Amino acid sequence: MDGQVTKEMMDSRRMPRHVAIIMDGNGRWAKRHGLARMFGHRQGVETVHRITEAAAEAGIRYLTLYAFSTENWNRPQQEVDALMELLVDTIAKETATLMKNNVRLLTIGDLARLPKTAQEKFRRCMEQTAGNTGLRLVIALSYSSRWELVRAVKQMVSEVQSGALRAEDIDEMAVSEHLTTAGIPDPDLLIRTSGELRISNFLLWQLAYAELYFTPCLWPDFTVEEFYRALLDYQGRERRFGKTSEQVKTDQEIKQ
């Protein structure tokens, strides 16, 4: 969609309940500006701030951000350490803003792999914001979908062995409840910045019916208007969940 996009152009009744974002392109942004990679990540934090605010204002209920993947542990140690420090600093600094905007912080992923201070800061922020009733900001940390699925399978096997779960009771809901996203509705919209057309081990189970939106914009350049553009694009799509277009229209008429 070309041209200017404003908040007024969106239908507030058709907002996605859950938006997930793969924030990509910080390194390339830094390179283009002749800067070290960490400058890109720092600029990326500014984007996190404005998009979280815009999502809360737009009435979106869940915003999940892929901040650090299991595979990111393989980056040069210096970048890993600096990213951890940035995440911890950001959370400490932004807790007041989260409180002001009634945002509740949640995390998914293998938090136990994070440095103890980082675990502590995130836990504290989650506790402090636990009573907030607005947007749920879900940060994926040391997260990968295959890690999460293996963990869920192991947990279910162990429960079957102990008699807490019957094998014949394992259905889609049981699997969902064993993922780190238990209790969080599946994303309706996935946004990936920087022009890469991949899911990269992110929420593979949960994205089964999500609408996918890819933009060449690098994460530090991703503006609120670009975000609205993605939401507007989503609102123009027909979500069929495997049904025919005619069935979807009939369902909508019955609902109205």
Query: Looking at the annotation, which residues are catalytic?
Result: 24, 72
Sheet with 104-108: strands ordered across: 104-108, 136-143, 62-69, 18-22, 189-192, 211-214
* Per-residue tokens: 15: 């907002």
User: Nearer to ligand FPP by C-beta: 156 or 194?
Assistant: 194
Name residue, tokens 């069935």: 247
Contact positions with ligand FPP (CB under 6 A) in 32-61: 41, 44-45, 48
SS3 at position 65:
strand
What's the CA gap between 254 and 37, in Å, rounded?
53
- Indicate which single residue of 10, 80, 84, 86 sits in contact with ligand FPP (rule: CB under 6 A): 86
Please tell me whether residue 72 binds ligand FPP under the rule CB under 6 A. yes
Please tell me whether residue 109 binds ligand FPP under the rule CB under 6 A. no
- 45 neighbors 53 (Cβ within 8 angstroms): no
Please tell me whether residue 124 binds ligand FPP under the rule CB under 6 A. no
What's the CA gap between 121 and 75, in Å, rounded?
23
- Indicate which single residue of 7, 9, 10, 28 sits in contact with ligand FPP (rule: CB under 6 A): 28
- Interface stretch with ligand FPP, choices 5-13, 53-61, 86-94, 121-129 (CB under 6 A): 86-94
List residues near ligand FPP by CB under 6 A. 23-28, 41, 44-45, 48, 65, 67, 72, 86-87, 90, 139
